[in-house]
Amino acid sequence: MTLEVLRASERQAVPWLNGGGVTREVAARPEGSGMTDFDWRISLADVDRGGPFSGFAGVDRVITLVEGAGMALTVAGAEQVLDAPYRPFPFPGDAPTDCRLLAGPVVDFNVMTRRGRATAEVAIARSARPLPVPEGAELLVVCLAGTAELAPAAPDAAPLRLERFDAVLLRGDGARLTEVDGAAAVVTLGTP
């Protein structure tokens, strides 16, 4: 088993080109990839104002409201209101998408996968649960609210505490969430 701890305090905020907010990359593959050559990319964004989303050809997205009153996304002409936190919403990244904030800024959690190269399943954990890692996959756990504690599968490994927006990337034997005081995103990343 390999375990990579990704602390929120070590992430840099990168402003959007349109000035509507900032993004903080949690992890991406291949490592060091940019916005045009990732297989998968996971980030947290502070959205200060509404406007059009950048288009990503051949990319599927899952967005989850973490903080704020919410937003209305119009994807390919159909509106979807995201006004409850921790409910993942999948949509095609290459569909024309516009965002209207419902009542002020929001924070959202974004998972992007390139079709034909990566897949992602996003689940929200609010209590203890096993974290199996499927063969050939990776598992990313991000604490979205409160704290979470994780016990690696290795018998001699110490428990790992995640504060808000901290993450851990697992490969191999998996682990167990032993405590969730809030909410954690559990993202299973695989290949098609």
In the block, tokens 């899952």 appear at 62
Give 152 or 144, the one with higher predicted confidence. 144
CB 44 within 8 A of CB 33: no
**Spans of all domains in the chain:** 10-114, 119-190
Closest CA to 184 of 155, 161, 158: 161
Structure tokens at 183: 């909410």
| pLDDT (0 to 100) of residue 65 | 98
Q: What is this structure's pTM?
A: 0.94
How many whole angstroms separate alpha carbon 47 and alpha carbon 22?
7
Strand-pairing partners, residue 149, are 161, 179
Tell me if 10-114 shares its fold with 119-190: yes
> Which residues does 165 contact at the CB level (< 8 Å), separation at least 6?
8, 11, 24, 44, 142, 143, 144
What are the distances in angstroms from CA 8 to CA 11, 24, 25, 126, 145? 6, 9, 10, 20, 12
- What CATH number belongs to 119-190? 2.60.120.10
pLDDT, tens digit, 9 for 90 and up, residues 77-116:
999 999 999 999 999 999 999 999 999 999 999 999 999 9
% pLDDT > 70, the chain: 99
Can you tell me the distance from the alpha carbon of 14 to that of 41, in angstroms, rounded to the nearest whole number? 14
Cα–Cα distance list, 118 to 21, 85, 91, 109, 174 (Å): 27, 25, 15, 18, 19
What pLDDT is attached to residue 16? 78
Q: In the CATH scheme, what is the code of domain 10-114?
A: 2.60.120.10
Chain mean pLDDT for the chain: 94
